[in-house]
């Protein structure tokens, strides 16, 4: 079976294990059904901006041409640093977009990927955000009315817990089993200033996530379609936005958003 078209980030369905589909053009490839089988990916030497569709040589921020990277609300500074959001003050690249994305309920969460980390996401992005990061456990910490408030809480916690995923350890399934998210939450409540404590949630339960896998590699070699235009291997796992193969290679599907490919299953 072949799929040809522009690649987008994998869509996930919270099942046990996670069901994954790869959007390629107008089609959805049910990649989770091909675990243990030979997968081939060919780059067809074309990249298009996912915002304006202009043909480009390389992407910025996973799928954008440079002008769109500078101007699009989807690449606003507050995407990576929510504490810099100014939508609540009426300032944004696109105020209508901000009303739909920034001025909505957000969660601050704790998750376990390889080690513990903290993150911020819109309420509508749960559990997608956790799955995209390869988390195996997640616990809601606080709920806010906008992105800025969530960012302020995250900033206060960053000195005590990472906001980044150790992606290589995550892909090797090298998990710090000593992490207790309930205990960690109790400890972190103490670092939050009094003006933000009202956002902290109580009685939340840990959510568990199981990924489709046969095994996990001991070493990781990440492939880039700009350097290697043909990839093939036996699919042994899918985790986060990565496909993992039996030859220790992995590919980040989201990183190649906008690439025209042929997927052979």
**CA contacts within 13 A on the Cβ side of 224:** 5
The pLDDT-based confidence of 254 (bands split at 50, 70, 90) is very high
pTM to 2 decimal places: 0.96
H or E element that contains 117: strand 116-122
Extract the tokens encoding 208: 């568990």
Pairing, β 221-222 against β 249-252: parallel
List, for residues 21-65, the tens digit of each pLDDT value.
Answer: 999 999 999 999 999 999 999 999 999 999 999 999 999 999 999
Q: Domain locations in the chain?
A: 2-57+213-264, 71-208
Distance CA 151, CA 121 (A): 10
Model confidence band, residue 85 (pLDDT cutoffs 50, 70, 90): very high
């Amino acid at each position: 079976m072949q799929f040809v078209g522009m690649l987008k980030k994998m869509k996930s369905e919270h099942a046990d294990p996670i069901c994954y589909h790869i959007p390629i053009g107008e089609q959805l490839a049910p990649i989770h059904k091909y675990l243990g089988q030979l997968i081939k990916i060919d780059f067809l030497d074309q990249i298009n901006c996912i915002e304006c569709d202009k043909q480009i040589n390389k992407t910025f921020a996973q799928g954008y041409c440079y002008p769109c990277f500078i101007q699009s609300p989807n690449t606003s500074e507050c995407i990576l640093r929510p504490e810099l959001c100014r939508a609540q003050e009426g300032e944004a690249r696109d105020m209508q977009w901000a009303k739909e994305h920034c001025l909505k309920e957000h969660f601050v969460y704790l998750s376990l990927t390889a080690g513990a980390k903290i993150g911020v996401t819109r309420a509508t992005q749960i559990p997608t955000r956790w799955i995209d990061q390869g988390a195996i456990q997640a616990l809601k910490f606080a709920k806010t009315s906008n992105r800025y408030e969530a960012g302020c809480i995250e900033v206060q916690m960053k000195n005590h817990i990472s906001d980044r995923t150790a992606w290589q350890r995550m892909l090797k399934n090298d998990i710090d089993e000593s992490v207790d998210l309930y205990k960690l939450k109790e400890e972190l409540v103490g670092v939050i200033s009094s003006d933000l404590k009202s956002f902290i949630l109580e009685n939340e339960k840990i959510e568990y996530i199981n990924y489709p896998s046969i095994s996990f590699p001991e070493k990781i070699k990440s492939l880039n379609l700009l350097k290697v235009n043909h990839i093939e291997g036996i699919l042994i796992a899918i985790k986060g936005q990565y496909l993992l193969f039996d030859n220790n290679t992995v590919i980040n599907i989201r990183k190649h958003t906008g690439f025209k490919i042929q997927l052979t299953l």
